[in-house]
Amino acid sequence: MNQRNDRKTKGVDFDAVIVGAGFGGLYAVHKLRNELGLNVRAYDNGDDVGGTWYWNRYPGALSDTESFVYRYSFDKDLLQEWTWKENYMTQPEILSYLDHVADRFDLRRSYQFNTKVTATHFNEETNYWEVITDKGETVTAKFVVTGLGLLSATNVPNFKGRETFKGEQYHTARWPKSGVDLKGKRVGVIGTGSTGVQVIIATAPEAKHLTVFQRTPQYSVPVGKRPQSEEEIAEIKANNDEIWKQVKSSAVAFGFEESTVSAVSVSKEEQERVFEDAWNKGGGFRFMFGTFSDIAANPEANEAACNFIRKKIQEIVKDPEMARKLTPTGLYAKRPLCDNGYYNTFNRDNVSLVDVKENPIVEITPKGVRTTDGEYDLDVLIYATGFDAVDGNYTKIDIRGRGGVTMRDKWADGPTGYLGMTNTDFPNLFMILGPNGPFTNLPPSIETQVEWISDTLQCMIEKGFSTIEPTLEAENDWVATCRSIADMTLFPKADSWIFGANIPGKKNAVYFYLGGLGNYRKNLEDAGYKGFIFD
Ligand code: N01
């Protein structure tokens, strides 16, 4: 990086605008304002902090990452003072953690809540971004940092007659703050992904009757939620340095050692023993990555894991027809699910399962859901139908870079992001969890990216640069790297949001760097600022 002293500083409202008040946005405010001393304005559409955990208030919402690593690691005192009760945290607990972080670092005063950023345009004359909100305000900033989350643009399938339903209907990620009374009601849930599984388990004991509309069954293993004793927590806190060192050098960053043993190198009995042990310990990522090294890469190893889970489903679910419908037949190659009694829920008398692949949904009626085999009367309909992930959060905003090029156009063939954070033609725009970033337990990846962004800004300020932008060549190379890593796994072979396959008409692309957090961090270190142009 060469020294430059003609940095343009006049007439700008803020050094940086930060969008989002989840894990990413909050940490960015802390780093940029509290540590770098920048003049920062932050926005969030919600009326308070929380991001994903602000919006996803549906019953049963739980992090599927263990409590001790579902947090920030940047502050040793914060790690010591904040505590938890169980090895997994529910949505209200995570929200209160983020609330505490916001108070502790005085982050709220930089936020304008209840405000949507609707557009942001780069002005090539000034090298500033103009940021426009739904409150009619336009501000200018040298840098824009987006912490929009991976999963914030909700997907509500365009079923015929949706607006005619006379009962209540909610997407899980737009659950009312005041809650929804499901007691004694006829409830329907569409969708059986991570969210569906959680909401189904929590709703069944409340509802008079629960009808689950399932299109594709998924493999799920027990989460293994349990109380943690004060001694266990004290031991974790005493070992934080080693824990976070391990997390940041691991692949999935879930706080366990990934296996280096191939499933196909051991006997069937040994496979069974290892799977059983992981089933009893709990955790979806632990089952997929902690048992054997090749479950997500080798079809034979994958099939061994599938068979183990299929057998468990058959053992748990008493009604054979229900068990058949719940048993997946395809690969175990989506983001792995875990649950707190999912299959057992289908042994309840008040729960029924409708296979909407066999009998597709025809329409939503004033009374409920009509499939090709009949009408299901409902009081409440819950859409656990997922998200227009990753780029869906960005293309809702009118983002324009050099020459007025829009992000929507740039990403017409699938979204891209050099190192998962930056884009050619969009100088000084940093995306936390942008396309082609790491696919892991998210807080440690978020910290990694925010720290890189903050270091980069500091470096630019010290050297007097006004813009940073990746070269197209560097961006293309990174996307090719992400593609070749993805192709070494089975993930692209299963239809899921990870490759954009869940949204009709969405381009199937590589949305993530699947090389793991340790390797991602090494890439950032090794790259230095190779592939970037500074001006
Ligand atoms: O969304 P999904 P999700 N007709 O896209 C079905 C994170 N998360 O919200 O599989 C009928 O996985 C769809 O069916 P199919 C986590 O990263 C984390 O559940 O496409 N059904 C599927 O069953 C996760 O991976 C936690 O055939 C339709 C479901 O809706 C990510 O969020 C908790 C349909 C959508 O599943 C997304 O999970 C919850 C239609 N037209 C979520 N359209 C944690 O624990 C869609 N479906 C941290």
Q: Is residue 69 part of a domain?
A: yes
User: Amino acid identity of 135?
Assistant: K
Q: Is the pLDDT at 39 greater than 80, yes or no?
A: yes
Task: Please say whether the beta carbons of 147 and 18 come within 8 A.
Answer: yes
Q: Which residue minimizes the CA distance to atom 37 of ligand 1? A: 386
Distance 197 CA to ligand 1 centre (A): 9
The CA 171 to ligand 1 mean position distance, Å, reads: 11
Maximum C-alpha span of the chain:
74
Quick one: pLDDT at residue 2?
A: 39
> Is residue 328 within 6 Å of ligand 1 at its C-beta?
no
Question: What is d(CA 253, CA 483) in angstroms, rounded to the nearest whole number?
Answer: 21
Residue 379 shares a structural domain with residue 240: yes
In a domain, 35, yes or no: yes
If asked whether residues 312 and 291 sit together in one domain, one would say yes
**Which domain-ending residue is among 362, 383, 404?**
383
Same domain, 399 and 512: yes
Domain boundary among 383, 417, 436: 383
Residue with structure tokens 């005085």?
A: 106
DSSP character at residue 184: T
Same domain, 276 and 421: no
- pLDDT of res. 5: 34
- Is the domain of 44 the same as that of 70? yes
pLDDT band at 6 (very low <50, low <70, confident <90, very high): very low
Q: How high does pLDDT run on average in the chain?
A: 96
Of 215, 337, 382, best ligand 1 pocket probe by most atoms within 8 Å of the beta carbon: 215
Q: Look at residue 170 and tell me if it is in a domain.
A: no
Total domains in the fold of the chain:
2
Residue type, 84: W
| pLDDT value for 450 | 98
Give the domain-ending residue among 383, 407, 426.
Answer: 383
Element (H, E) at 323: helix 320-326
pLDDT in tens, 172-211: 999 999 999 999 999 999 999 999 999 999 999 999 999 9
Token code pair at residue 264: 């196909």
Same domain, residue pair 350 and 228:
yes
| Residues spanned by the domain of 358 | 220-383
Q: Is the pLDDT of residue 4 over 50?
A: no
Q: Is 502 in the pocket of ligand 1 (CB under 6 A)?
A: yes
Integer-rounded Cα Rg, in Å, for the chain is 23
Q: Is the pLDDT of residue 81 over 90?
A: yes
As a whole number of Å, the end-to-end CA separation of the chain is 10
Beta carbons within 8 Å of 243's beta carbon, 6+ residues apart: 68, 69, 236, 255
Report pTM.
0.97
pLDDT confidence band for 10 (50 / 70 / 90)? low
Domain membership of residue 307 (yes or no) is yes
CA of 428 to the centre of ligand 1 (A): 33
Within 8 A by CB and 6+ apart from 33, the residues are 39, 40, 110
Same domain membership, residue 460 and residue 341: no
Examine the pLDDT at 381 and tell me if it is beyond 80.
yes
Average of pLDDT values for 370-382?
A: 98
Residues in the chain: 535
Which residues, in sequence order, are CB contacts of 286 under 8 Å at separation 6+?
Answer: 254, 256, 278
Position 367 in a domain: yes
Give which of 340, 349, 278, 281 is closest to 309, Cα–Cα. Answer: 278
Q: Which atom in ligand 1 lies closest to the alpha carbon of residue 335?
A: 25
Q: Which of 139, 141, 145, 112 is nearest to 127 (CA)?
A: 141
